[in-house]
Amino acid sequence: MLKKRGVIEFSWIFALIVGAIILFLAFYFIGTKFTEKNILKSIQTEQSLDIIFNPFSSFGSLGATSSKVILLRNSEKINFSCDSNGLGFNSILVSTEAVLKPRLVYYKYIFTENFSQGKDFQIISKPFSMPWRVADFIYFIPRNINYCFIGFNDIKDEFGDSGTGLNISNFQFKDSRNQCNEPSIKVCRSGCDINVNNGVVTKTSGTTYYVDDATMYAAIFSDPTIYNCNLKRLGKRIEYQTKVYDEKVASILSRCSDTFGLSSLRTNAGALYYERISRAIGDILIALKASSDIINDQNRRAQCKLF
């Protein structure tokens, strides 16, 4: 290797440089091939799930119930959880992602079961108003799970294959339980897998309470823990939005003499955020709806509208 003492031969220098280049290229191609495959898979999954991952993405028309089908390249296991601290977040863990780290989704309210597996997912977005449009609910349903609604004509109008319906393919609408195609989760007033009656949704995983269509669908399609957690998050969001509307009321007073009773809405929204027991959450939800109806009425009669 040494020509004279301490002098390196040219052939060695050349071999080192060429060796380094060959090694680098080998690492580069092997590395990129491996990472590319994983990244591509992650990106494809991520792009498909952008609707739920990205707090600024939306689909369908503004202020209307919309639906979309997400098609993934492979069957994925997706775990959902919820954190109600402050405005909170939904946590989503996709099993095939290159980095197994849950995604924290802020400002979105995803109603689903704790665990979903499948290649195709049905996503339905529905605005939630209390009394103004607070947020859009997202119902995340694997398409391999069929729901059979028995005796719900209003749901049929919204999600069925009628002219105005969203034509959700894994939803069936029947008059009796015997007519449901198997396997399916049966939803009816009583005696089914999911019972929906008079503001209460009962299923094996627990009992939840609703006040309008948006919360009723949320209670049907989601796990009770996720449902209650998202409601608590919404309580905080309504409380914060009330502060914005408080300031707006002050602006309105400079042009009109309309008044709005926002304080009871704020109190109930705050209470919803702090409540832990499902039954009590239901009671507060009813009180929140009552104060929301009062403001809605005041707004309808106002010369300068608040919302």
Q: The tokens of 145 are what? A: 């799970």
CA 257 – CA 248 distance, rounded (Å): 13
Out of 34, 55, 69, 75, the residue judged to bind other proteins by CB under 8 A? 55
Query: Does residue 83 bind other proteins (CB under 8 A)?
Result: no
Amino acid at 40: L
Tokens of 75: 């069957």
3 scored as a contact of other proteins (CB under 8 A) = yes
Establish whether the linkage from the previous residue to 131 is cis, with ω within 30° of 0. Answer: yes
Instruction: Check residue 301 for interaction with other proteins (CB under 8 A).
Output: no
Q: How many CB atoms lie within 10 A of CB 9?
A: 12
DSSP 8-state symbol, 281: H
Q: Considering the rule CB under 8 A, would residue 69 count as an interface residue with other proteins?
A: no
Token pair listed for 214: 């948006």
Interface with other proteins, residue 134, by CB under 8 A: yes
Nearest approach, Cβ of 27 to other proteins (angstroms)? Answer: 5
- Does position 104 interact with other proteins (CB under 8 A)? The reply is yes
Told to check if 59 binds other proteins by CB under 8 A, we report no
CA of residue 123 relative to chain centroid, distance: 9
23 binds other proteins (CB under 8 A): yes
Instruction: Output the smallest distance, CB 303 to other proteins, in A.
Output: 6
Residue with tokens 């202020």: 63
Residue 253, interface with other proteins (CB under 8 A)?
no
User: Does the protein bind other proteins through residue 44 (CB under 8 A)?
Assistant: no
* Closest to other proteins by CB, 15 or 290: 15
> Rounded to the nearest 5 degrees, what angle is found at the Cα of 174, between the Cα atoms of 172 and 179?
95
Choices 86-94, 185-193, 201-209, 276-284 (CB under 8 A): range interacting with other proteins: 86-94
11 scored as a contact of other proteins (CB under 8 A): no
Place of tokens 């977040």: 89
Can you list the positions of beta strands (E) in 198-269? 200-203, 206-209
Among the residue ranges 53-61, 161-169, 176-184, 277-285, the one whose residues contact other proteins (CB under 8 A)? 53-61
Q: How many residues bind other proteins, per CB under 8 A?
A: 50
The residue (of 161 and 247) whose beta carbon lies closer to other proteins is 247
Residue 193 contacts residue 187 (beta carbons within 8 Å): yes
- Give which of 251, 267, 248, 255 is closest to 307, Cα–Cα: 248
Separation between Cα atoms, residue 85 and residue 107, nearest integer Å: 13
- Asked if 31 interacts with other proteins (CB under 8 A), we say yes
Q: Which residues bind other proteins (CB under 8 A)?
A: 1-4, 16, 19-20, 23-24, 27-28, 31, 35, 54-58, 61-64, 86-87, 89, 104, 106-107, 132-135, 240-241, 243-248, 251-252, 255-256, 299, 303-307
